[in-house]
A and B are shown apart, each in its own frame.
Chain A
Amino acid sequence: MKNKIVIMSTLLLMLSLLYACANTNSLPRVHPEDVRSLGMPRPNCSECHTDSWSALNHRAPNYLAKHRFYAASSRQVCSMCHTESFCSDCHTRKDEIKPSDKFSDQPERWLPHRGDYFSQHKIDGRINPVSCVKCHGRQNNQRCATCHK
């Protein structure tokens, strides 16, 4: 209960800080250019941007590993182009169909664990549990519990 009071007062403090607002324009709600119609699997942000947004270039070979950091600092940018359902296709909490089964017709996408995964998961899970934690640590684990007790 004490904690809840702390939160409430933090929120109030934040509201009062609104008077020290930056007074800048918000990001556009929808990205001004339709990058999907360019037809390539992933947009090359630096094709059009010389500003800091070129860093979010989806063509970088390590973009999948980086997207969580951008999502954690600039989520509003993502929602200019992506609806929530795009993220929830991979980030679900109690799903029964893995992403690569939902989109078997999109082979160039970075979908985790393609193919029949039961054998390989023992190896991948052993070598790098950290990546699995993000989707199976506290969620999507009802099925794991049938073997892992």
Chain B
Amino acid sequence: MKLYHTSKSCLVLGAGAAVLASTLFWSTPLIASDYSISGESNTIFRMRRTIDDKKLLPAYEYLHLNMTDNRSDGTGLSLHIGGWGRTDLGDSPTSDSADGDVQYAYVTYRAPKDNTAVTFGRQFVSEGVAAERIDGLYLRNDFLYGLSASAFFGNSVITEPGSAVQNQGGTFVYGARLSQSNKKYYTVGLSALKGETENNGKYREEEGIDLWVHPLQQIDLTGRSTYNSITNGWMEHSYLVTYAPLSSIRIGADYAEINFKDYLYNMTNPALSVINPVWNANDKMTAAGGSVAYSGLGNLMVSADYKYYSYDKSGHANYFGGKASYSLPQSFVVGGSVHRMDGVVDKLCYNEYRAFASKKIGQADLTLDAINVNYDKKINGVTNSYAVTGAAGYEVNRKLRVGADVEYSKNPDFDREVRALVKATYTFDTNSAAEGGTKK
């Protein structure tokens, strides 16, 4: 039972992290400490109906905790824990696969020089090709000549669906990234990642080159190319460029090329794996797009966007539209968007509309959000699919906020559906000497 194995190792890690943190936090009294605890608790009640008409009434608790100690000598040590749990107030369980999770639980040490960081525990690592949740260790450091290096290893923390998939996910994963940068102009990085299965078999082998170029303040180019050494093919080439000729105009362009057999190799979700005939039948997808945003009209922001998708076997589609929003800081926002999807198959021919507004009145706030998709050809006898959400919140005091929302929807799968959610958010922070930047 791997699931059991990972949750146990996480408990051990969490306990280890807590012990380590508590000894380190109070060990050196000579250096002045700016010690603080902050966190957030979210209690959420939901009411909805499943596709097979069961009533669900789950209650959730999401808890986030940060303990930080920023010393006067510049070192920083902190502990971060986040997770959730559920109980069902109704008769039917919401899911049998889980009733809670530890999202992250790690201790991190940061040195005053060279951006040295050591992080231990359950964490979300993002370094070049890697975007992994691991139970393990992460290190990084800056060296001479603009060089930086980072490395990580640990047990990969993934969800394993109870379905019969050949690959039930990897166990051990590790990787590294080496980069060279000139603060003014560019950063280039090389990275690699390996994943193993239970019996030390090859699960993933990916290498990548990432790029960030900003030759002028107005131009910014970023992206990466990644290679799969197990399937021997490029997974993706993905690049984006932003150009800001004036401070009120931003123009963006993007290009991506995906090879499915390499990119979707060993995905544990059957819908998104090469085992799905849809992706198996196509070798390649190309997507290109552009956007323009104009903010020179005070509080009004307008933008237009365009995206082109092309599959080597199953045709192409164009997606384009515009968006506008008007906002007054911290009191009012109203906006809307119109998009058209225009593809070669019926399913990919529809118009999409959205309108929303949110207003703050004293300690209360009200939000209305409506989404409408209008299909050219009926799907299950329905041409018009929509969802309308109304939300209201009340700030009891600086720490406590309560809110509720109701969603009403109609679509080709659900004839008419109402869902409701109630939540209470409590934030706490013991920092007496907080600087300007309140983090969230």
Residues of A within 8 A of B (CB): 1, 3-4, 7, 10-11, 14, 17-18, 20-27, 29-41, 46, 50-52, 54-55, 57, 59-62, 65-66, 68-76, 80-88, 91-97, 101-102, 104-108, 114-116, 118-120, 122-123, 125-130, 132-134, 136-145, 148-149
Asked if B98 CB lies within 8 Å of chain A CBs, one says: yes
A137 touches which one: B114, B269, B417 (CB < 8 A)? B269
B131 contacts A72, C-beta separation under 8 Å: yes
Interface size, chain B (Cβ < 8 Å): 157
Closest 10 A/B residue pairs (Cβ): A39-B329, A145-B161, A115-B387, A107-B356, A62-B252, A116-B409, A55-B220, A148-B271, A34-B436, A141-B269
Q: Besides the contacts A105-B367, A116-B407, what 15 more A-B pairs have beta carbons closer than 8 Å?
A: A18-B116, A20-B143, A23-B114, A30-B437, A34-B436, A59-B295, A60-B250, A66-B242, A72-B128, A93-B158, A105-B358, A118-B411, A138-B159, A140-B159, A148-B276
B436 touches which one: A32, A57, A96, A137 (CB < 8 A)? A32
A127 contacts B143, C-beta separation under 8 Å: no
A142 contacts B437, C-beta separation under 8 Å: no
How many angstroms from the CA of A106 to the CA of B153 in the assembled complex? Answer: 36
CB under 8 Å from chain A, chain B span 145-201? 146-147, 149, 151, 153, 157-159, 161-164, 169, 172, 174, 176, 179, 183-185, 187, 189, 194, 196, 200
Residues of B within 8 A of A140 (CB): 159
How many angstroms from the CA of A33 to the CA of B439 in the assembled complex? Answer: 11
How many angstroms from the CA of A23 to the CA of B405 in the assembled complex? Answer: 52
Asked if B293 CB lies within 8 Å of chain A CBs, one says: yes
CB under 8 Å from chain A, chain B span 300-319? 303, 305, 309, 317, 319
How many angstroms from the CA of A129 to the CA of B309 in the assembled complex? Answer: 11
Nearest CB in chain B: distance from A83 CB, A: 5
Asked if B340 CB lies within 8 Å of chain A CBs, one says: no
A82 touches which one: B256, B379, B440 (CB < 8 A)? B440
Residues of A within 8 A of B258 (CB): 130
How many angstroms from the CA of A130 to the CA of B235 in the assembled complex? Answer: 11
Given contacts A69-B210, A104-B367, A130-B258, contact A115 B409 (CB under 8 A): yes
How many angstroms from the CA of A33 to the CA of B153 in the assembled complex? Answer: 34
How many angstroms from the CA of A122 to the CA of B126 in the assembled complex? Answer: 29
Asked if B327 CB lies within 8 Å of chain A CBs, one says: yes
Given contacts A33-B436, A107-B358, A145-B270, contact A21 B142 (CB under 8 A): yes
Nearest CB in chain A: distance from B109 CB, A: 11
CB under 8 Å from chain A, chain B span 425-440? 435-440
Nearest CB in chain A: distance from B231 CB, A: 15
Given contacts A114-B371, A126-B278, contact A142 B179 (CB under 8 A): no
Residues of A within 8 A of B194 (CB): 3
Nearest CB in chain B: distance from A87 CB, A: 6
A26 contacts B116, C-beta separation under 8 Å: yes
The residue of chain A having its C-beta at the shortest distance from the C-beta of B52 within the complex is: A146
How many angstroms from the CA of A83 to the CA of B224 in the assembled complex? Answer: 26
B76 touches which one: A29, A82, A83, A101 (CB < 8 A)? A29
Residues of B within 8 A of A11 (CB): 139, 151
The residue of chain A having its C-beta at the shortest distance from the C-beta of B350 within the complex is: A123
Residues of B within 8 A of A84 (CB): 64, 80, 82, 104, 123-124
A114 contacts B333, C-beta separation under 8 Å: no
Given contacts A54-B217, A71-B126, A72-B128, contact A60 B437 (CB under 8 A): no
B285 contacts A134, C-beta separation under 8 Å: no
B113 touches which one: A26, A59, A61 (CB < 8 A)? A26
A7 contacts B151, C-beta separation under 8 Å: yes
B174 contacts A148, C-beta separation under 8 Å: no
A127 contacts B343, C-beta separation under 8 Å: yes
How many angstroms from the CA of A80 to the CA of B369 in the assembled complex? Answer: 32
How many angstroms from the CA of A91 to the CA of B159 in the assembled complex? Answer: 13
Asked if B234 CB lies within 8 Å of chain A CBs, one says: no
Residues of A within 8 A of B279 (CB): 129
Name 12 A/B residue pairs within 8 A (Cβ), A-sorted: A29-B110, A39-B329, A46-B247, A59-B295, A60-B252, A61-B250, A61-B303, A104-B391, A105-B403, A106-B367, A115-B387, A134-B131
A144 contacts B271, C-beta separation under 8 Å: yes
Nearest CB in chain B: distance from A29 CB, A: 5
Residues of B within 8 A of A130 (CB): 236, 256, 258, 263, 285, 287
B196 contacts A95, C-beta separation under 8 Å: no
User: Which of the listed residues A11, A26, A41 has the most CB atoms from chain B within 10 Å of its own CB?
Assistant: A26
How many angstroms from the CA of A133 to the CA of B272 in the assembled complex? Answer: 7
Residues of B within 8 A of A83 (CB): 64, 66, 80, 439-440
Residues of B within 8 A of A138 (CB): 158-159, 169, 267-269
A76 contacts B117, C-beta separation under 8 Å: yes
The residue of chain A having its C-beta at the shortest distance from the C-beta of B46 within the complex is: A97
How many angstroms from the CA of A134 to the CA of B263 in the assembled complex? Answer: 11
A149 contacts B164, C-beta separation under 8 Å: yes
B111 touches which one: A26, A61, A143 (CB < 8 A)? A26
Residues of A within 8 A of B97 (CB): 142
Residues of A within 8 A of B327 (CB): 40-41, 108
A14 contacts B139, C-beta separation under 8 Å: yes
Residues of A within 8 A of B66 (CB): 83
